[in-house]
Structure 1
Amino acid sequence: MKKLPVIVGFGGINAAGRSSFHHSYRRMVHEALDSQDTAPMFEGLAKLMGVDKDEHQYMLDHTLIRQIESHIFDINSVELHRKTTMRSNGKSIQFQIAKKQLPDNIPANWTTEDTDNNLVNVTVTGELEVMTKDTYTPEVTSAAQLPTGFDPSVLYTSRNQPKGLQLTVYGASDAIRSLGIQWSTILEHIDPSQISVYAGSAIGQLDEFSGKGLQQAMLKGGRVSSKQMPLMLSQMPADFINSYMINSVGATGANIGACASFLYNLRQGLNDIQSGQARVIIVGGAEAPIEPNVIEGFKAMGALAEDAQIAALDNTEKANNRRACRPFSDNAGFTMAEASQFFILMDDELALELGATIYGSVPDVFVNADANKKSISSPGIGNYITVAKAMALAKNILGEEGIKQTYAQAHGTGTPQNRVTESHILNEVAKTFNIEKWTVAAIKSYVGHSLGAAGGDQLVASLGVWEYGYIPAINTIDYIADDVYDSNLEFCMQHKFAGNKGENMKATLINSKGFGGNNATGLVLSPQVTMEMLTNKHGQAAIDKHAEKNVTVKAAAKAYDDSVINGELSVIYNFGTDVMEGNDLNITQQGIELEKFKNQLKFEPENPFADYC
């Protein structure tokens, strides 16, 4: 029997706000909630954004998808260089530069003359190639930016770190502190190697402190720094968590699957729990792609919704940036987003032992490729397989009637191709499993497409349904496009009430489709279903004992939430502390004793291949 990986903590931030304790979820469905539920959300947002807690309209206007704001970059004056060839027009070209600025290899058509003040007179015969500065206004000005005023760099010593890693530190800290259990307490109950961290960025870090800076430095007359190369790597979020946040010697890595990367990492973590390799996993992703060069790259692919296209959809002259992403309606492309999402899961036995709060469980994530196809970026057959496998597992767990109480968290990018292909996939699976009207949500209409963190955005929204009861509407559309398959689907056009604490929905299928044929679908079971399964396995006495311990855990978690709502923003970042070297461990034939850990790292005592020997 497999162990059941249960969700015991989550945190991060996206365009809707802080993830932990359902703050970002409440921003999405605030119209459906009463003031008692929205008041803490607004108060917490106010502290993040640095505004008064009564400025509700400002907070609403400066969250979710909107026009790119000047603190990201000035959309009216994006800098670029244009290649220019100067010609002498019958006369030589003359100029003066500092001697230290002369190239090491002086062109053949240059003559130079030193002056007395370390300047050089240069005469050029013929042509001179130069780069001239210019500015432009991009054709894409919509993005799902973090709440205006939130700056993760000020929360710790983050000098010269890419924004994606700053978001990692914030998001993983939020998740760890949401547990209501000290990390040191968890370590007392496990072998120090029974932790896995799988997290990354689909495109790596690409700002001036990482990839962009590395590629542009020499062409702009600058120098490459020692940090740009390593900090741009896609697996660096996992590395930061291990080295600066949880002091981990467990398994680590990043599974990169384009826009399905989050679910790829989740799947890797689930496998570790179910195989017994890990008892605790941290999975997630952080992405900070709202950079002019990244936007231009996706625009060149025809993937993004351009302003002119958005305006044409509404028959207006000016684009409505707030409605840039329109899943399953007439649309033009996806909308770039920045986000950081992290989740902590344990095996069911450890979660019960520690009294952890159980938000749901993830029995499996399915990943399948597209097989042969004409274009590497076009959809293929793989996503049919992943969704069908996930639904088959749901049927095995919930029964034929139970799967009718599920819904789909669609990838729902807002592209013309996605609305056709994904709707056909979901519709065919609903038909096959006799679901007459399968509910479909698409939360990218609020928080855009955060690439490697996108599946985390979907999972956060799903957990919110099981606390406040509403499946978020696709809030940017007025109708379903004619080419969308919907005979067996019901797209959420308004917030859909799913019962008290979402009790009418036993599970959700989180779907991701990525460039290159990267498909993943995860089955997430509700906390109610999860607890029923744990009761069946462990007995009511174990559940009652867990409930007693959970009182203290919930109180500690609430104290953390209250502190953040009150403006006490801080992160976990332990640079250079508790460092261990070769002399700080003792290797025996039974395992390894580590100076900074209470428990020993134990070797496998038996031969796992005894049947072959």
Structure 2
Amino acid sequence: MSRHPLRLPLIVAQGGIGPAGRTSGFHAYRRMVIEILESGEAMATLNSLSRLTGIAVEDRAALLNATLIRKLDGTLFDADAVTRHKAMTTKGRSEMLLSRKQLPTPVPTSWQVTATEDKALVKVVIPEGQPLLVPESFSLPVHAAGQLPTGLHPEKLYASRNHPRGLAMTIYGASDALSSMGVDWNVLDKLVSPEQVSVYAGSSMSQLDQNGNGGLMQARLKGKRVTSKQLPLGFAEMPADFINAYVLGSLGTTGTSMGACATFLYNLRHAVEDIQSGRTRVALVGNSEAPITSEVIEGYATMGALASDKALRALEGLADSQEPDYRRACRPFGENCGFTLAESAQFFVLMDDELALEVGAEILGSVAGVFINADGPKKSISSPGAGNYLTVARAAALGRNILGDEALQQRSFVQAHGTGTAQNRVTESVILNDVAEAFGIDNWAVSAVKSYVGHSLAAAAADQMASTLGAWKYGVVPGIKSIGGVLADDVHNQNLNLLTEHLEAGVGSMDLTLLNAKGFGGNNATATVIAPHKTREMLSRRHGKDALAAWERRNESVSAQQEEAEAVKQAGNDEPVYNFGEGVIAPEEISISKEKVILNGKEVVLPADNPFESYC
């Protein structure tokens, strides 16, 4: 029996914000390779950064220094004056004056409280052995991070109403992706039924700043009250909820999967399988992570996972009083000492091939599949294991099956997880090297985007996707330049080309890319993504040359809209979409019958068949 061909999920738009800048217009990618760009392209990216940071475009050095991995700049908190409470116990009786309003409820039975002449004050005698928590400050052991461009405050670009930083970044990133699509969302909304839209977005660590779960957990210890927003806005799936409610107004499928540092690929698989099966025609997929808080940094530092100042100085042979090169804190596959925490919000619009051709959408590439495997038995929950062998091998096999041995062996590259830890450089290089050998690949090019932007946890593989789309567009695969051209001695690279410099392969020279992600707990995922020129060849074979010619004609107006949207952003008018309370569907606007549900004119047909008929 013949099987209906799967629909091909096409990547038609990208958007977001991260340490390298704005994702749309390929600016974040171009920041990573800016030294080899043509002057006009470099100037456009500098202008984009200027609009984000407020730094004059003429001050090239300041703009570049305000991006990528760098020393914590004080935007989020002062890393040299982090507040904590020191526990202590009194060694004798103590007296103090307190405002009567400051007395705790109930007053401890061991306290002696007496009135004073000032009725507003009381004298308190506390006994020996009274436990106290007294505020003090300390300096974090880690000062390197992949921060948003200095001067950018996404929460100030719309009426954020005390939104956690990750949600403000979500609003910016999702809006950026939609505006860069070149197809008005209202047009798509009329072409597809509500249940044919999917949004998969979230974070792996939830919203941990003061406006989210961080403030919720800290409130009582800081003598503050919990707010009404901290708990609900702290949920890890809230980025998807915000996109549905305030950006798209979507009634479709929604949610997030959480797979630690592989989370984006977990969400991508949902979108890909929805589109392949026909359940979804258009999907917005991505992640937003804002983990740069003093508590998270301290937590990972205590694990020994982060590149600390002390360890970086040791690598560079510096004295304790000297400042290390924070820009080079993350050194995948080189002599390294830990990963570098980062914040990022990255989103991609995917469509099925028929819809993309119908509307003339831009074809940035396609996703053939995403493979996920656990590690099996483990000694340590944080250590890597066997599952990544399966995901990489399965993704490579799929690429070979679709495009052939030559494409995989000679015209593909890998976006490595590449965290910058000593353990990762060995284990991941072994996996990639063994898979390369098994598939007859002699010199597999490997890039590691974390060397530029750091490790954004849930959004990490989304950073890899954005870099990949840029590499296809400009023909340059970013090199791992933070390691100074020297690989670590224990790296396995007999069949690998671990790029220590940019690989200027040329536009159209790379057919296929594997995105690899590994997460705490044994969460492994690898995606097979196909370059735009190969995607168009596949579409031509599937739909015919006439259909591609018609798409090209429709794409002309889409390209014009994309250029117009980019010009608006370059002029500094980069206000995100945020439709608070608009278009709310009232009960009287909903009608239900046995055949369908109509919601304010949007019709959803109810299932009419029995999918388990053969069982009945």
Normalised by the length of structure 2, the TM-score is 0.97
Are 1:464 and 2:470 an aligned pair? yes
Report matched runs for 1:235-250 at 5 Å. 235-250=237-252
Instruction: Tell me, in whole angstroms, the C-alpha distance in 1 between the residues paired with 2:176 and 2:127.
Output: 62
Amino acid at match of 2:552: A
Q: Tell me the equivalent position of 1:427.
A: 433
Instruction: Tell me, in whole angstroms, the C-alpha distance in 2 between the residues paired with 1:126 and 1:31.
Output: 66
Instruction: Tell me, in whole angstroms, the C-alpha distance in 2 between the residues paired with 1:589 and 1:424.
Output: 58
Q: C-alpha displacement at 1:401, in angstroms?
A: 0.9
Runs of 4+ in 1 over 6 A off after TM superposition: none
Report matched runs for 1:51-200 at 5 Å. 51-88=55-92, 92-115=93-116, 116-200=118-202
Amino acid at match of 1:373: K
Instruction: Tell me, in whole angstroms, the C-alpha distance in 2 between the residues paired with 1:223 and 1:194.
Output: 42
Q: Bigger shift: 313-322 or 532-541?
A: 313-322
Report matched runs for 1:329-478 at 5 Å. 329-404=334-409, 405-478=411-484
Q: C-alpha displacement at 1:123, in angstroms?
A: 1.1
Match of 2:524 among 519, 535, 538: 519
Amino acid at match of 1:364: G
Amino acid at match of 2:376: A
Instruction: Tell me, in whole angstroms, the C-alpha distance in 2 between the residues paired with 1:42 and 1:104.
Output: 57
Instruction: Tell me, in whole angstroms, the C-alpha distance in 2 between the residues paired with 1:360 and 1:87.
Output: 69
Report matched runs for 1:1-16 at 5 Å. 1-16=5-20
Q: C-alpha displacement at 1:134, in angstroms?
A: 1.1
Instruction: Tell me, in whole angstroms, the C-alpha distance in 1 between the residues paired with 2:536 and 2:488.
Output: 40
Q: Bigger shift: 151-160 or 504-513?
A: 151-160
Residues 424-448 of structure 1: CA distance to partner in whole angstroms, max 9, x if unpaired? 0100000000000100000100000
Q: Tell me the equivalent position of 2:234.
A: 232
Query: What SS is found at the alignment partner of 2:231?
Result: helix
Q: Tell me the equivalent position of 2:544.
A: 539
Are 1:555 and 2:560 an aligned pair? yes
Match of 2:498 among 491, 509, 515: 491
Residues 105-137 of structure 1: CA distance to partner in whole angstroms, max 9, x if unpaired? 222321111334222211123222221121111
Amino acid at match of 2:613: A
Query: What SS is found at the alignment partner of 2:392?
Result: helix
Amino acid at match of 2:419: T
Instruction: Tell me, in whole angstroms, the C-alpha distance in 1 between the residues paired with 2:447 and 2:54.
Output: 32
Instruction: Tell me, in whole angstroms, the C-alpha distance in 2 between the residues paired with 1:37 and 1:123.
Output: 71
Residues 372-430 of structure 1: CA distance to partner in whole angstroms, max 9, x if unpaired? 11111111110000000000001100111111210000000000000000000100000
Amino acid at match of 1:299: A
Instruction: Tell me, in whole angstroms, the C-alpha distance in 2 between the residues paired with 1:160 and 1:24.
Output: 27
Q: Tell me the equivalent position of 1:607.
A: 610
Query: What SS is found at the alignment partner of 2:368?
Result: strand
Instruction: Tell me, in whole angstroms, the C-alpha distance in 2 between the residues paired with 1:73 and 1:255.
Output: 30
Query: What SS is found at the alignment partner of 1:188?
Result: helix
Instruction: Tell me, in whole angstroms, the C-alpha distance in 2 between the residues paired with 1:224 and 1:299.
Output: 28
- Which sections of structure 2, spanning at least 5 residues, go unmatched? none
Identity %: 48
Query: What SS is found at the alignment partner of 1:131?
Result: strand
Are 1:211 and 2:210 an aligned pair? no
Instruction: Tell me, in whole angstroms, the C-alpha distance in 2 between the residues paired with 1:509 and 1:472.
Output: 15
Amino acid at match of 1:162: P
Instruction: Tell me, in whole angstroms, the C-alpha distance in 2 between the residues paired with 1:581 and 1:87.
Output: 65
Instruction: Tell me, in whole angstroms, the C-alpha distance in 1 between the residues paired with 2:76 and 2:228.
Output: 25
Instruction: Tell me, in whole angstroms, the C-alpha distance in 2 between the residues paired with 1:172 and 1:9.
Output: 10
Amino acid at match of 1:409: Q
Amino acid at match of 1:590: E
Instruction: Tell me, in whole angstroms, the C-alpha distance in 2 between the residues paired with 1:309 and 1:374.
Output: 26
Instruction: Tell me, in whole angstroms, the C-alpha distance in 2 between the residues paired with 1:581 and 1:99.
Output: 50
Query: What SS is found at the alignment partner of 1:193?
Result: helix
Amino acid at match of 2:434: E
Amino acid at match of 1:488: N
- Which sections of structure 1, spanning at least 5 residues, go unmatched? none
Query: What SS is found at the alignment partner of 1:375?
Result: coil
Instruction: Tell me, in whole angstroms, the C-alpha distance in 1 between the residues paired with 2:597 and 2:115.
Output: 67
Instruction: Tell me, in whole angstroms, the C-alpha distance in 2 between the residues paired with 1:203 and 1:94.
Output: 44
Q: C-alpha displacement at 1:79, in angstroms?
A: 1.4
Q: Is the 8 A contact 1:32 1:495 kept in 2?
A: no
Amino acid at match of 2:456: S
Match of 2:42 among 28, 38, 41: 38
Residues 78-97 of structure 1: CA distance to partner in whole angstroms, max 9, x if unpaired? 11111121222xxx311111
Instruction: Tell me, in whole angstroms, the C-alpha distance in 1 between the residues paired with 2:111 and 2:49.
Output: 60
Query: What SS is found at the alignment partner of 1:127?
Result: coil
Query: What SS is found at the alignment partner of 2:305?
Result: coil
Q: Bigger shift: 557-566 or 507-516?
A: 557-566
Normalised by the length of structure 1, the TM-score is 0.98
Q: Is the 8 A contact 1:585 1:593 kept in 2?
A: yes
Q: C-alpha displacement at 1:152, in angstroms?
A: 0.5
Instruction: Tell me, in whole angstroms, the C-alpha distance in 2 between the residues paired with 1:301 and 1:359.
Output: 39
Q: Is the 8 A contact 1:327 1:477 kept in 2?
A: yes
Residues 541-576 of structure 1: CA distance to partner in whole angstroms, max 9, x if unpaired? 111111101000110011111111111110000010
Instruction: Tell me, in whole angstroms, the C-alpha distance in 1 between the residues paired with 2:274 and 2:587.
Output: 27
Q: Tell me the equivalent position of 2:487.
A: 480
Report matched runs for 1:235-384 at 5 Å. 235-317=237-319, 318-384=323-389
Q: Is the 8 A contact 1:109 1:126 kept in 2?
A: no
Instruction: Tell me, in whole angstroms, the C-alpha distance in 1 between the residues paired with 2:537 and 2:234.
Output: 44
Query: What SS is found at the alignment partner of 2:389?
Result: helix
Amino acid at match of 1:487: Q
Q: C-alpha displacement at 1:208, in angstroms?
A: 0.7
Amino acid at match of 1:602: V
Q: CA RMSD in A?
A: 1.0
Amino acid at match of 1:604: P
Amino acid at match of 1:612: Y
Instruction: Tell me, in whole angstroms, the C-alpha distance in 2 between the residues paired with 1:100 and 1:271.
Output: 60
Instruction: Tell me, in whole angstroms, the C-alpha distance in 2 between the residues paired with 1:43 and 1:125.
Output: 64
